[in-house]
Amino acid sequence: MKIAIIGGGIAGLTCAARLGQLGISDVTVFDTGKHAVGGRCSSRIVNINGQLSVFDHCVQYFTASDPRFKKILSYLIRDGAVTQWKGPVGHLQRGRFQADSQFTQAYVGVNGMRSVPESLAKFCKVQRPAWVSTIQFDYHLKKWTVDKWGVYDFVVIAHNGKCAAKLTENAGAPEIHRLCHTRFASRVNPKDSRMTLCSLFVLMVAFERSLKLPYEGAHVADSNISWIANNSAKLKGTSSSSGILPGNKLECWTIISSKNLAEQNKVPQEHIPQNVEKRISGIMLESFAEATGLKGKLPVVHFQKLQLWGAAVPLNTLATGSECVFDAQRQIGICSDWLVSPCVQGAAVSGLALAEAIGSCIKGNKSSTSLQPLFKEESQSNPIGAFP
Ligand SMILES: Cc1cc2nc3c(=O)[nH]c(=O)nc-3n(C[C@H](O)[C@H](O)[C@H](O)COP(=O)(O)OP(=O)(O)OC[C@H]3O[C@@H](n4cnc5c(N)ncnc54)[C@H](O)[C@@H]3O)c2cc1C
């Protein structure tokens, strides 16, 4: 059995690894990543004046409550890819910090979040950088043609947004295509039966010296920013064996915008016009200074870079009771965070569920999940996802 997984984020990699455990080994993960796999779970390494610095520019930390994900977490810790983050982390509102009493079991990647997908990818055959632009099902042969990559028995869509909608448009699986329709907004419209994704700006900033703040991360309320994290402090507590951090005197922060700021200033994420980059970076730095009580006191900035995640975090998730989507007749499935919960755990659980569904189908159980586009609003998530 040959399986093509399109998307090498947490969901696709977990699905591939579980299929391997089930004895299905001819599995290829296709991913667009130029530097690494991981999708929205990755880090940027930047050379600033000859010093290498790491920025977690999407996932900041994650929690584990699902027993299946806890097993994956145990493996990641044993593999040296993940460690606990002790913080302090909390909430900032109009300059006042309150530590998060729930922040007892939070995890981060050692030397940055990219170590999580790297560790999972050890079990997978990964083809990257590879952009899969067409898939086509032959109903008589029961086979999928995957772009120029050959013929497969099963296809897994392990991503979301416009890419998934475009890829499935003429694939011969209309119900799967309907499920991939996406709406981009900062709020869910209960009358709209599509998955809704928000956008977020991320500003990476390296200050000349430490800000000496008594916390390492904070969710920010009532502001143009929603989250700040001191990467230097967070990652110092993990490991410096890669040689990235020692001797680095800079203090590197990740600042994430509010959903509204991104919605109101959306531009193509591949090319942020210079004037927009300057204006949004300025707004976010000013909001950072206000939130931290450092207005007029921020040290010299040695590096700053703005990134836009156009398809950042799902605001609603599938409400059919399934953790993945699987069409046994057409031998195609979907796994991703938007089917379970907008977070690392949600993506991993979805990948596991789809691997089980494919494994069971190969053994003769031809049942499909619901293919109805029914979504429920994520009540517990904040702008950067859920922490179940
Ligand atoms: C700014 C930000 C902060 C976040 N913070 C947190 C946090 O602190 N904690 C938390 O738990 N979660 C957080 N999240 C959410 C978390 O990132 C996601 O829930 C999770 O990473 C989703 O994984 P996934 O595998 O479903 O999708 P993705 O990570 O999006 O993976 C999909 C992959 O498929 C690839 N792909 C797409 N189309 C194609 C194609 N046609 N061919 C080949 N490859 C393709 C993409 O390039 C990508 O690599 C955050 C998200 C953002 C954007």
- Give the tens place of pLDDT for each residue, 87-134: 999 999 888 999 998 888 999 999 999 999 999 999 999 999 999 999
Distance CA 158, CA 316 (A): 17
Structure tokens at 55: 């920025």
Q: Cα(67) to centroid of ligand 1, in Å?
A: 22
pLDDT band of residue 242 (cuts 50, 70, 90) is: very low
Q: What atom in ligand 1 is closest to the CA of residue 341?
A: 19
pLDDT band of residue 238 (cuts 50, 70, 90) is: low
Query: How much is the pTM?
Result: 0.96
Per-residue model confidence (pLDDT) at position 11? 98
Domains of the chain: 3-377 (3.50.50.60)
Is residue 314 a contact partner of residue 160, using CB atoms and an 8 Å limit?
A: yes
Tell whether the model's pLDDT for residue 193 goes beyond 60: yes
Per-residue model confidence (pLDDT) at position 317? 96
Q: What atom in ligand 1 is closest to the CA of residue 167?
A: 41
Nearest protein CA to atom 41 of ligand 1, as residue: 132
Q: Cα(343) to centroid of ligand 1, in Å?
A: 9
Handedness of CA 182, 183, 186, 188 (dihedral sign): negative
Q: What atom in ligand 1 is closest to the CA of residue 338?
A: 26
Tell whether the model's pLDDT for residue 155 goes beyond 90: yes
Nearest protein CA to atom 50 of ligand 1, as residue: 59
Pocket test for ligand 1, best of 14, 31, 40, 180 (most atoms within 8 A of CB): 40
Higher pLDDT, 213 or 248: 213
Is residue 232 a contact partner of residue 106, using CB atoms and an 8 Å limit?
A: no
Nearest protein CA to atom 33 of ligand 1, as residue: 7
Residue 45 to residues 32, 61, 128, 268, Cα–Cα distance (Å): 18, 18, 19, 23
Q: What atom in ligand 1 is closest to the CA of residue 311?
A: 53
pLDDT band of residue 243 (cuts 50, 70, 90) is: very low
Pocket test for ligand 1, best of 15, 43, 159 (most atoms within 8 A of CB): 159
Q: What atom in ligand 1 is closest to the CA of residue 336?
A: 26
Structure tokens at 313: 């975090």
Q: Is the CB of 85 under 6 A from ligand 1?
A: no
SS (H, E, C) 114-132: CHHHHHHHHHCEEECCCCC
Distance CA 170, CA 167 (A): 8
Q: Who's near 81: CB < 8 A, 6+ residues apart?
A: 109, 110, 115, 116, 118, 119
Q: Who's near 174: CB < 8 A, 6+ residues apart?
A: none
Pocket test for ligand 1, best of 5, 59, 114, 256 (most atoms within 8 A of CB): 59
Across 333-355, average pLDDT: 98
Q: Is the CB of 61 under 6 A from ligand 1?
A: yes
Which helix (H) or strand (E) segment holds residue 177: the answer is helix 174-179
Handedness of CA 339, 340, 341, 345 (dihedral sign): negative
Per-residue model confidence (pLDDT) at position 248? 62
Structure tokens at 342: 């907008």
Across 51-59, average pLDDT: 93
Q: Cα(9) to centroid of ligand 1, in Å?
A: 6
| Beta bridge mates, 316 | 377
